[in-house]
Structure 1
Amino acid sequence: MKAFSFILILSVLFISCEIAPKPIEYGSDNCEYCKMTIVDRQHASQIVTDKGRSYKFDAIECMIHYDREYLDQPAAMYLVSDFKMPGELIDATKASYLISPEISSPMGANLSGFNSEAAAEKTKEEYGGELYSWDSIKDHIKK
């Protein structure tokens, strides 16, 4: 019986520390940085730490600010919503970004993420704005 209890406890520990995104409960989860309720499926984002802890955000710029100011452990994953597929989280480090005054985002940076440079470029042609990579958007948001 002791062996079974030990295996059960170990299983629970491994499951609870899984390094994977957690579902964002739109309309009830709050942004870790600004505390606003997350409702916009096109601009939400998430950090998953190397310990499996998930931090959810209502806007990409909130995630970038939180990472710089508060995150006290290494991130295993940075995720952003794909603007063209609302609610679908993609790897933020491989995404392309567009800042366009014609596309509002929750915190006013007008920042959107895309799963490819081609998708971001096509949206830029329609709405205008400036394209960024992961590294360049982090630098831009710091200013």
Structure 2
Amino acid sequence: MNLLKKLLIIVFTVSLFNCNTSPEAIEYGVDGCHFCKMTIVDKIHAAEIVTKKGKVYKFDSSECMINFLKEFDASQVKLYLSNSFSEPEKLIDATKATYLISKNIPSPMGAFLTAFKTEDEATKIQLEKEGTIFGWDTLNAYLNK
């Protein structure tokens, strides 16, 4: 095997293992929202997208993430993540989360949108804070109407 082929195999192998497609921790008070450019400070409402190529987009709210998708090729997305109301700073799968829009839980961009890991958690908070519950698909349809 000549030197050029060996070099190509090494470069290809390194590039395969170098493509990280996992979430990044959000640095609150430092990172900016990719959509609205505000500094991300709210540890309950932040969100993140990770593309299939490993590019990470951070958002100060789930509504910014959803609005960003209007101008982005969603087929390139590997992970949609939102912070969990009950576990601030913890990113959960946004497509499996349950969402509550309640005027009694302010969010950074004023949509009053909060993500919950389970429907039971969302329902429990809805009983005390009122509002409307959504799944990922119904939320996207609601915000994109």
TM-score normalised to structure 1 length:
0.90
Segments of 5+ residues of structure 2 without an aligned counterpart are none
Residue 100 of structure 2 is matched in structure 1 by: 98
Give me the CA root mean square deviation.
1.9
Alignment of 1:33-52 (within 5 A): 33-52=35-54
Percent identical pairs in the alignment equals 45
Cα displacement (A) at 1:133: 0.3
CA drift of 1:18 comes to 1.2
The answer on whether the counterparts of 1:17 and 1:53 sit within 8 Å (CA) in structure 2 is no
Residue type matched to 1:63 in 2?
A: M
Alpha-carbon distance change, 35 to 15 in structure 1, aligned in 2, over 3 angstroms: farther
CA apart distance, 1:32: 0.4
The residue correspondences of 1:112-127 to structure 2 (distance < 5 A) are: 112-127=114-129
Segment of structure 1 superposing worse, 14-23 or 43-52: 14-23
Question: Which of 109, 122, 138 is equivalent to 1:136?
Answer: 138
For residues 85-129 of structure 1, the C-alpha deviation after alignment (integer angstroms, 9 at most, x for no partner) is: 000000011000000000000000000000000000001001000
1:53 aligns with 2:55: yes
Gaps of 5+ in 1: none
The structure with the larger Rg is 2
Shift of residue 69, structure 1, vs aligned partner: 1.5
